[in-house]
Amino acid sequence: MRFTKMQGLGNDYIYINCLNYEINDIPKAARFLSDRHFGIGSDGIVLILPSDKADFRMRMFNSDGSEAEMCGNAIRCVGKYVYDNGLTDKSRINIETLAGIKELDMVVSGSKVEMVRVDMGEPVLEPAKIPVNSAKDRFISEPVTVGDRVFDVTSVSMGNPHAVSYVSDVDEFDLHFYGPKMETHSLFPRKVNAEFVQVIDRNTLKMRVWERGAGETLACGTGACAVLVASVLNGISERKATIKLLGGDLLIEWKQEDNHVYMTGPAVKVFDGEIDL
């Protein structure tokens, strides 16, 4: 099987062209391929497929084999993959995902895509749709006990569920203790991506993320979008801000005109290879 390893801010996935190719037992393949000792090593795998609704369709599976609805870093790399490999000659394309169809605008330099701006759509704030086990109209700055601490949690869906909390020093925060406990908290029936955020100023936020099915990753695009939305709702930031992640920076904007969230960031090819499945 041919594959391409790509990363967006260090959030690395294995990309497989499935336009004319099928994989049997995708969850098992994802677990094997993602293993950093016995496989290729990644946060998961991404399948690029034909679509009858958009230019292409994307499916993504975490390193534990579970399928996720969306990944902002991964979808930027899908755009780069299809353009750089001549599967499209358009710099603006639509990608079908389990979280809906997303529009990508690609910045091309020397025939290669360097940056991608993604229309991530409207944030979902109704608890039942996120989902969160709450009867409230919105889940904003609600106290949630996790281990020995109480966090004020704001929950947002960007096609997948997020729980955003604020801490004084994200570098010193014990993410590996609190992250998995937040991920599997009884409030979240489908688990949750947990973001912990330090406010630098109204235009700069610093975050770490514990992702469903993957643990701590260097970056999470949907998480960065959820962090901006949560910060606007809590009066902490402007509607456009730089989100600083372990792997680098993303520019996120929540536009008032259409209520859509826009994410701009890099997409990088690491290497091509082949492996026996």
User: Residues 205, 250: one domain?
Assistant: yes
Cα 46 from Cα 18, distance rounded (Å): 10
> Domain with 269 in it: what CATH number?
3.10.310.10
Nearest to 58, CA basis, from 99, 30, 87: 99
Side chain identity, residue 236:
I
- Considering the candidates 18, 77, 220, 225, report the single residue annotated as catalytic: 220
Residues 253 and 134 both lie in one domain: yes
Question: What does each C-alpha distance from 262 to 76, 126, 174, 221, 225 come to in angstroms?
Answer: 12, 20, 30, 10, 8
4 labelled as ligand-binding?
Answer: no
Q: What is the Cα–Cα distance from 137 to 41, expressed in whole angstroms?
A: 41
Domain count for the chain = 2
pLDDT tens digits for 79-114? 999 999 999 999 999 999 999 999 999 999 999 999
- According to the model, what pLDDT value does residue 21 have? 82
Catalytic residue, chosen from 18, 71, 77, 225, is: 71
Q: Is 211 annotated as a binding residue?
A: yes
The pLDDT tens digits for 194-224 are 999 999 999 999 999 999 989 999 999 999 9
Q: Does 71 qualify as catalytic in the annotation?
A: yes
In this structure, the answer to whether residues 30 and 44 fall within a common structural domain is yes
Residue 221 labelled as part of a binding site: yes
140 is in which domain, residue-wise? Answer: 127-259
50, 83: one domain = yes
* 239 marked ligand binding residue: no
Q: Any catalytic annotation for residue 77?
A: no
Dump pLDDT digits (tens) for 8-24.
999 999 999 999 888 99
Based on the domain organization, do 53 and 67 belong to the same domain?
yes
Q: Which amino acid is at 33?
A: L
Residue 55's pLDDT is what? 98
pTM of the model: 0.92
215 and 230 housed in the same domain: yes
How do strand 56-62 and strand 92-97 relate by DSSP bridges? parallel
